[in-house]
């Protein structure tokens, strides 16, 4: 018990003392996960909207696949990207393996299905509500997309947060394609795994607390923005 209490104290002092190693790890984590979420959002929202609006053969199967991929194990995503980027792989020449870029790619694969699938549900629902009016106004499906994305923005913000949650919490994919190299590809989750296995519980615990705090902070900000806008717009 006292060990744990000590670990907790040390963790706090590391955080409050703005330990440079710790800060580096936190910064890289944020950079990787936020980049992945940004890219997945830019692809996922239009993709979700297209799936919501257009009926085409194979649409049902595509939706099932997307939904299934929401539960894709991170290690599988990591392994796939690893095989693609490894020296002998088809994209080996790019030399991206064990770089933050590779980690972003792996996380995009994890986050994209979540954002696309959940966005489709949100947009389909709103489209059901809006489509007669928008068609009556003479809008083509293409021109409806910006309107639907904008008017569904509060729901979509939650969708993007779900994606961010997935990206910031996963460890398997970034471990495999990043390699957990100190100062280069070490992020919070991989560092926690490493420090725990080394027995350096204070650092692991400190990182855990920080990770929780960051995720809570992002969610709180999104919640506040959403609530105030909802209050204004009903």
Partner 1 sequence: MNEMTRLAATAIPTLSLQGVGFVHRGQTLLHPVDLRLEGCRRTLLMGPNGAGKSLLMRLAHGLLTPTQGQIRWEGRRPRQSMVFQRPVLLKRTALANLTYALAVNGVPRARRKSVAREALERFGLAALEKRPARVLSGGEQQRLALVRAWLTEPEMLFLDEPTSALDPAAIKAVEDAVRDFHARGTRILMSTHDLYQARRLADDVVFLCGGRVLEYTSAAEFFTAPVTPQARAFIRGELVW
Contacts with partner 1 by CB under 8 A lie at 129-130, 132-133, 135-139, 143, 147, 151, 232-234
Instruction: Quote the strand ranges of 28-75, DSSP E.
Output: none
Taking the complex as a whole, how short is the minimal distance between the CB of residue 224 and partner 1, in angstroms?
Answer: 18
Q: Is 173 exposed, middle or buried (0-12, 13-18, 19+ CB in 10 A)?
A: buried
Nearer to partner 1, 198 or 230 (CB): 230
Taking the complex as a whole, how short is the minimal distance between the CB of residue 234 and partner 1, in angstroms?
Answer: 3
Q: Residue 6 and residue 10: Cα distance in Å, rounded?
A: 6
Q: Are 158 and 229 in contact (CB under 8 A)?
A: no
Nearer to partner 1, 61 or 133 (CB): 133
Nearer to partner 1, 73 or 146 (CB): 146
Nearer to partner 1, 8 or 154 (CB): 154
Taking the complex as a whole, how short is the minimal distance between the CB of residue 223 and partner 1, in angstroms?
Answer: 18
In sign, the C-alpha dihedral spanning 45, 46, 52, 55 is negative
Nearer to partner 1, 31 or 131 (CB): 131
Taking the complex as a whole, how short is the minimal distance between the CB of residue 159 and partner 1, in angstroms?
Answer: 16
Q: What are phi and psi of 181, to 5 degrees?
A: -85, 125
Taking the complex as a whole, how short is the minimal distance between the CB of residue 136 and partner 1, in angstroms?
Answer: 4
N-terminal to C-terminal alpha carbon distance within the chain = 50
Taking the complex as a whole, how short is the minimal distance between the CB of residue 48 and partner 1, in angstroms?
Answer: 18
Q: Residue 138 and residue 157: Cα distance in Å, rounded?
A: 28
- Calculate ∠ Cα 63-69-73, nearest 5°: 170
Instruction: Quote the strand ranges of the chain, DSSP E.
Output: none
Nearer to partner 1, 149 or 177 (CB): 149
- Which two structure tokens, joined as six digits, stand for 137? 């106004």
- Which two structure tokens, joined as six digits, stand for 33? 């996960």
Q: Residue 10 and residue 201: Cα distance in Å, rounded?
A: 9
Taking the complex as a whole, how short is the minimal distance between the CB of residue 138 and partner 1, in angstroms?
Answer: 7
Nearer to partner 1, 18 or 233 (CB): 233
């Amino acid at each position: 018990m006292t060990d744990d209490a000590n670990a907790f104290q040390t963790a706090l002092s590391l955080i409050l003392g703005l330990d440079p190693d710790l800060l580096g790890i936190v910064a890289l984590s944020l950079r990787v996960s936020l980049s992945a979420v940004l890219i997945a959002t830019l692809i996922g929202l239009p993709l979700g909207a297209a799936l919501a609006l257009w009926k085409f053969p194979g649409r049902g199967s595509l939706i099932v696949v997307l939904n299934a991929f929401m539960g894709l194990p991170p290690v599988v995503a990591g392994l796939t990207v690893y095989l693609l980027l490894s020296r002998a792989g088809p994209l080996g020449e790019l030399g991206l393996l064990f770089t933050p870029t590779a980690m972003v790619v792996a996380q995009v694969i994890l986050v994209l299905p979540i954002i696309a699938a959940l966005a489709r549900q949100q947009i389909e629902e709103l489209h059901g509500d809006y489509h007669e009016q928008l068609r009556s106004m003479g809008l083509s499906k293409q021109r409806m997309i910006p309107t639907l994305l904008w008017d569904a923005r509060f729901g979509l913000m939650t969708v993007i947060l779900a994606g961010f949650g997935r990206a910031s919490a996963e460890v398997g994919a970034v471990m495999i394609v990043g390699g957990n190299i100190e100062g280069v590809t070490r992020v919070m989750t991989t560092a926690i795994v490493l420090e725990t296995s080394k027995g350096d519980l204070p650092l692991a615990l400190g990182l855990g607390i920080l990770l929780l705090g960051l995720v809570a902070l992002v969610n709180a900000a999104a919640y506040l923005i959403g609530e105030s806008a909802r209050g204004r717009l009903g």
